[in-house]
Each structure stands twice: as structure tokens, then as C-alpha cells.
Amino acid sequence: MPLRDTLARVDEDLAAGRVPVARQRLRGLVSSFPHDPVLRRRLAEVYRLYGEPAQAGRWMYLEEDRDTAETAAFEAWYPSPARRRAALRWDGAESLAPTEFAREQLAALTVPQPEAGKSSGHADAKGSLAALGCLVLALAFLAIWVIGVIALFR
């Protein structure tokens, strides 16, 4: 269904009091058109009808005229920059943002990746622990298999 038709249905749904249906339609549109600030703004308006400031702040986060209380609620709900960036459902680079303010907000949420050849000690420890777990599991499986073979030929 074309964007214009879906937006007309959103308006019909809101006029008829079908707020959950309108919200679902808008979420689908934002998913399909993640760089459209009008859709994000409309979705924030619907969440205001629900009385959900964190969600309204989420969808208005890239707008300069956002409500500070909603922004604070969103930031409290998603405390880390990486979680905020993921919650915004922004696909692509910051340069695709329609305003300089939105580009700055997205850039502030971008978590720097470690350089090639360098990794954090935490990630190395988790990898080593996973490898150790796999080794223990493989040895346990091998021991059970050997015991089974011995029992078979007794």
C-alpha cells in the first residue's frame, strides 16, 4: 500500500478511536521509511495519546523541538548510547539524517568500533570463556562416548 494511502488510513483510525491500529500502521511505516521525520513525529504523537513519554521521546529524539521530559524518559529507559541508537531504528549512516541536529544526535550515539587487530580485554575474556566451555563440553561428550563403546564390547 502506498505511503499516502497508509497515512490516510492512520488518520481514519485515529478519528475512529482505533489508536492501537494507527500505532501499528505508523510503526510499519517507520520501519519501511526510517529516515522520514514526519512519520517519526506522527508516531510520537500517537505514543503521547497512550501517555508513554519514553516512547514519544524515542521517536522525537532526532528533532530539535523535542520535549525535554520525553527525551529524559527515553534516555532513562535506554541508558547506553548503543541501546538508544538501536532503539531509534535508524538504518544507515548519520549523513542520511534530514537535519544537522539529527546528524549530531546520531553521531553522538555511534559507538566507536575497536581498530582492526585491537580488541577490548572484556571481549577477549568472553571469547576465551566460551572456548573453554566448548572444550569442556566436547571432552564430556567424548568421555560418555568412550564409556558407551567399552560397555558395548564387555
pLDDT in tens, 12-27: 999 999 999 999 999 9
Question: What CA–CA distance (Å, rounded) separates 40 from 98?
Answer: 12
> Looking at the structure, do residues 69 and 31 belong to the same domain, yes or no?
yes
Its pTM stands at: 0.69
- Residues spanned by the domain of 92: 3-109
Q: Which amino acid is at 64?
A: E
Comparing CA positions, the residue from 78, 79, 76 lying closest to residue 87 is 78
> Looking at the structure, do residues 8 and 73 belong to the same domain, yes or no?
yes
Q: Quick one: 61 exposed, middle or buried, by C-beta within 10 A (0-12, 13-18, 19+)?
A: buried
- Is the pLDDT at 111 greater than 60? The verdict is yes
* % of the chain beyond a pLDDT of 70: 89
> Looking at the structure, do residues 57 and 100 belong to the same domain, yes or no?
yes
> Looking at the structure, do residues 78 and 130 belong to the same domain, yes or no?
no
Comparing CA positions, the residue from 49, 50, 53, 10 lying closest to residue 30 is 10
> Looking at the structure, do residues 104 and 125 belong to the same domain, yes or no?
no
Q: Average pLDDT of the chain?
A: 88
Kindly state the DSSP code that residue 115 receives in the 8-state scheme: P
Dihedral sign for Cα atoms in the order 125, 128, 132, 138: positive
pLDDT tens-digit readout, 145-154 = 999 989 888 8
> Looking at the structure, do residues 61 and 90 belong to the same domain, yes or no?
yes
Q: Which grid cell is 135?
A: 572444550
pLDDT tens-digit readout, 58-101 = 999 999 999 999 999 999 999 999 999 999 999 888 888 999 99
How many domains does the structure of the chain reveal? 2
